[in-house]
Amino acid sequence: MIIKQLSVFLENKVGRLAEMTEILADNNINLIAFSVADAPDYGIARFIVNQTEEALKVLKENHFSVNTTNVVGIVVPNQPGGLNKVLQILSEKCIAIDYMYAFDHNNTASAIIRSSSNDAVIEALQQQQLTLLNISDLYKL
């Protein structure tokens, strides 16, 4: 249920994100889920790819500051209040969310959640019989 996510610290300058994605493309690495957060001097690109170890290797070889992080993927009910249902479950268990990002594919909503208590996230959502995603599920999207 744990998914490996890559996080890259990017200088906040024109073309740096394009440079990173070009390296991935040149190495036949597909972005499956992607998020960028910014600050005045840098950005953090967080993403899931089809070849995590290869992406980690080629980005480091090209002098990007990159690391892996464990995250949890979940299918979110794609209806009004669907995300709220998930968040309420976690809130009731006092589970903090560090960050999350979501995407829709063929009218199915999914979210990637990072918590310092990923195991607690998995347990709480499984208790409520919500569908968690494996990396193989993401590869099919």
Model pLDDT, residue 5: 97
* Cβ proximity of 29 and 139 under 8 Å: no
Q: Which of 26, 53, 70 marks a domain boundary?
A: 70
Instruction: Indicate whether 49 and 29 sit together in one domain.
Output: yes
Show pLDDT as tens, one digit a residue, over the chain (141 residues). 899 999 999 988 889 999 999 999 999 999 999 999 987 788 999 999 999 999 999 999 999 999 999 999 999 988 899 999 999 999 999 999 999 999 887 878 899 999 999 999 999 999 999 999 988 887 776
Model pLDDT, residue 107: 79
Model pLDDT, residue 131: 92
Q: Which of 70, 101, 123 marks a domain boundary?
A: 70
Q: Is residue 137 part of a domain?
A: no
* Number of domains within the chain: 2
Residue 63 is part of which domain span?
2-70
Instruction: Indicate whether 66 and 79 sit together in one domain.
Output: no
Instruction: Indicate whether 86 and 63 sit together in one domain.
Output: no
CATH number of the domain enclosing 81: 3.30.2130.10
Instruction: Indicate whether 9 and 29 sit together in one domain.
Output: yes
Model-level pTM greater than 0.85? yes
Instruction: Indicate whether 57 and 100 sit together in one domain.
Output: no
Cα(17)–Cα(83) distance, rounded to whole angstroms? 29
Instruction: Indicate whether 78 and 64 sit together in one domain.
Output: no
Instruction: Indicate whether 40 and 25 sit together in one domain.
Output: yes
Instruction: Indicate whether 33 and 10 sit together in one domain.
Output: yes
Q: Is residue 52 part of a domain?
A: yes
Model pLDDT, residue 105: 77
The string of DSSP letters for 8-62 reads: EEEESSTTHHHHHHHHHHHTT--EEEEEEEE-SSEEEEEEEES-HHHHHHHHHHT
Instruction: Indicate whether 36 and 54 sit together in one domain.
Output: yes
